[in-house]
Structure 1
Amino acid sequence: MNYNGLLSTFPREIRLFIAVFVVILSIGFFTGLLFVKQTEATTPAGVEENYLGNEQDADATIMKFKKGEREMLTIVHTHILSMSFVFFLLGALVWITKLPKKWKLFLTIEPFLSVLLTFGGIYLMWIGITWFKFVVIFSGILMTLTFTFSSCLVLLQCLKKSEH
């Protein structure tokens, strides 16, 4: 079965449906990034402070406390589950775009690794392996880049004239 470029052969209405889905999915994804920015967890020190607290910092303007185990497990659990579904659905759409197989493989497998490294890394940092804050930032950036590229790829091919 040849699925490369299948998306562009779909009827206009189905491509519009997929495009709207990807736009709404993107709004949800990037709203999550706004939340990360709001919590000032975009730097290694900010990531560490967000989960481990800043009670020892007398100069802190906003007091943050170390997250409890229940809260950490909830954060890790919900994000790994929900992000897995996000990347599974987006990945299924990437596989029917017109793009070389190696690129598709990267764009559909890498996000799962980044999800694991980002949220597993947050947990490992929380239990005391603080250098994981660098892994969390790197994998989070890579996850965002692959999401953005994949979303744009699907949207552009949905908006292209049908080849059918």
Structure 2
Amino acid sequence: MIPTLQHLPHSFKQLLMMMTLTLLLGVTMGLGLVMTTTGGDPSGIRDHYQGDVFVEGQIPEHYPMPVQELLITTHNHILTFTFIFGFLAGVIQFSGRLTPRQKRFLSIEPFISIVVT
């Protein structure tokens, strides 16, 4: 029988908590970066990646992001979120408070979201 989180050693629970908090900090800082570089506004995000509308005689503040850089960024995000969601799915599997159906949904849905978005 697989133990639930409440039956795991205290030191292992501390390890899981620190890893989860560190992931939370990293994702929060990533969202903060998006907010500071784009203002969190759809037009700011568009300008950041597509560059400013060109007006003759003016120097644009944002230049278009090259396709190669977009692919590298997408590649890195897909790999990173796969590891994050894999770790969290592993933790969810040890939960004693969720039904098997809830565990399955919470473990699989993030991976579907990666592919769809």
Where structure 1 has 5 or more consecutive residues not aligned to the other structure, the ranges are 119-164
Q: Distance in 1 between matches of 2:102 and 2:18?
A: 24
Q: Are 1:55 and 1:63, in contact at CA under 8 Å, matched by a contact in 2?
A: no
CA RMSD of the aligned region, Å? 2.3
Q: Is 2:35 aligned against 1:9?
A: no
Aligned residues: 114
Give the aligned partner of residue 19 of structure 2: 21
Give the aligned partner of residue 29 of structure 2: 31
Q: Are 1:41 and 1:50, in contact at CA under 8 Å, matched by a contact in 2?
A: no
Q: Is 2:113 aligned against 1:107?
A: no
| CA spacing shift, 1:113–1:11, aligned 2, 3 Å | same
Identity of matched residues, %: 28
Give the aligned partner of residue 48 of structure 2: 50
Q: Distance in 2 between matches of 1:44 and 1:57?
A: 21
| CA spacing shift, 1:113–1:47, aligned 2, 3 Å | farther
Q: After the TM superposition, which residues 1-164 of structure 1 pair with which residues of structure 2 at under 5 Å, given as runs?
A: 1=1, 3=2, 6-40=4-38, 42-56=40-54, 63-97=61-95, 98-118=97-117
| CA spacing shift, 1:13–1:102, aligned 2, 3 Å | same
Deviation at 1:41, TM superposition (A): 5.7
Question: Could you tell me which amino acid in structure 2 is paired with residue 101 of structure 1?
Answer: P
Q: Distance in 2 between matches of 1:57 and 1:24?
A: 43
Give the aligned partner of residue 155 of structure 1: none
Deviation at 1:23, TM superposition (A): 0.8
Q: Distance in 1 between matches of 2:32 and 2:53?
A: 25
Deviation at 1:106, TM superposition (A): 2.6
Deviation at 1:35, TM superposition (A): 0.9
Where structure 2 has 5 or more consecutive residues not aligned to the other structure, the ranges are none
Deviation string 1:61-117 (CA, Å, 9 cap, x unpaired) is x71111101111110111111111111011111111121233322322222222233
Q: Distance in 1 between matches of 2:23 and 2:63?
A: 32
- TM-score, normalised to structure 2, is 0.82
Deviation at 1:32, TM superposition (A): 0.9
- TM-score, normalised to structure 1, is 0.61
Q: Distance in 2 between matches of 1:57 and 1:8?
A: 62
Q: Distance in 2 between matches of 1:101 and 1:28?
A: 29
Deviation at 1:57, TM superposition (A): 6.4
SS of residue in 2 equivalent to 1:39: helix
